[in-house]
């Protein structure tokens, strides 16, 4: 089996950004005219990692990373709940703060788990299929096109599950649309960076995978 120098690093970065997003997703901020979760600023990087993984290493390896990210997120969520359940030491005055932040996590995590899995799989699928269809041309169209589709699914699932009945319906809808728009904008702005990273990885890894005979079943974990 071929080994890669940077696949582990990309996986680590993907997992890190997901875990940070899990615990901070409940904070809603105002960015100009947009009312969104603060994660709109950095969660889109996970889809860029997905783009790079699929473009260089192929759908199967990118799919495997999505499953690893999901596993890390689930394990972290379980630990968060254990932290809340353990009684604080006498004199420890910050327990309420931990309970406030981590206590809102279960519903947010559930939304995040479903959103990251569905969005990640869709992003990688669209990237892989478009690469074969375009014969490897128009990377910008593949990265942006896959992001438009996957971030729409991701945003709807996350906000509907995590924040329905917590935010007013009008604010919920505007948050979904704002998050979707901002995530796509981040992808567009970072497209030149994606080009540089993809070119370097293809050269360093001696890999430029085409998913011509790939089994696209998203339930395959390996």
pLDDT tens column, 5-14: 999 999 999 9
Arithmetic mean of pLDDT, 99-103: 77
pLDDT averaged over every residue in the chain:
88
Please state the domain extents for the chain: 7-205
Does the structure show a pLDDT above 80 at 36? Answer: no
* Exposure class string for 67-93: b at 16+ Cβ within 10 A, else e: bbbbebbeebbeebeeeeeeeeeeeee
Arithmetic mean of pLDDT, 145-166: 87
Of 3-17, 44-58, 151-165, the one with minimum mean pLDDT is 151-165
Structure pTM? 0.87
Does the structure show a pLDDT above 70 at 166? Answer: yes
- DSSP conformation class of 148: H
> Over pLDDT 90: what percentage of the chain?
49
- DSSP conformation class of 38: G
What is the reported pLDDT for 164? Answer: 77
Give tens-digit pLDDT for 119-138: 999 999 999 999 999 999 99
Does the structure show a pLDDT above 70 at 59? Answer: yes
> Over pLDDT 70: what percentage of the chain?
98
What is the reported pLDDT for 3? Answer: 87
In CATH, what class is 7-205? mainly alpha
Q: In sequence order, which residues have a C-beta less than 8 Å from that of residue 108 and are 6 or more positions away?
A: 22, 25, 26, 162, 163
């Amino acid at each position: 089996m071929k080994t890669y120098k940077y696949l582990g690093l990309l996986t680590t970065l993907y997992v890190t950004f997901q875990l940070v997003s899990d615990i901070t997703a409940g904070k809603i901020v105002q960015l100009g005219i947009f009312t969104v979760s603060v994660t709109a600023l950095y969660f889109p990087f996970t889809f860029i990692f997905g783009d790079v993984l699929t473009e260089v290493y192929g759908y199967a390896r990118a799919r495997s990373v999505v499953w690893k990210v999901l596993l890390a997120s689930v394990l972290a969520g379980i630990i968060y709940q254990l932290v809340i359940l353990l009684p604080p030491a006498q004199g420890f005055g910050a327990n309420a703060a931990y309970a406030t932040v981590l206590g809102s996590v279960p519903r947010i995590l559930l939304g995040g788990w479903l959103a990251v899995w569905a969005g990640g799989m869709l992003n990688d699928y669209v990237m892989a299929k478009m690469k074969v269809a375009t014969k490897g041309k128009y990377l910008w169209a593949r990265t942006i096109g896959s992001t438009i589709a996957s971030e729409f699914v991701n945003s709807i699932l996350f906000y509907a599950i995590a924040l329905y009945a917590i935010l007013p319906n009008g604010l919920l809808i505007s948050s979904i649309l704002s998050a979707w728009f901002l995530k796509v904008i981040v992808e567009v702005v970072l497209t030149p960076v994606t080009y540089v990273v993809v070119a370097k990885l293809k050269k360093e890894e001696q890999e430029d995978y085409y998913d011509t005979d790939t089994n696209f079943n998203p339930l395959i974990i390996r």
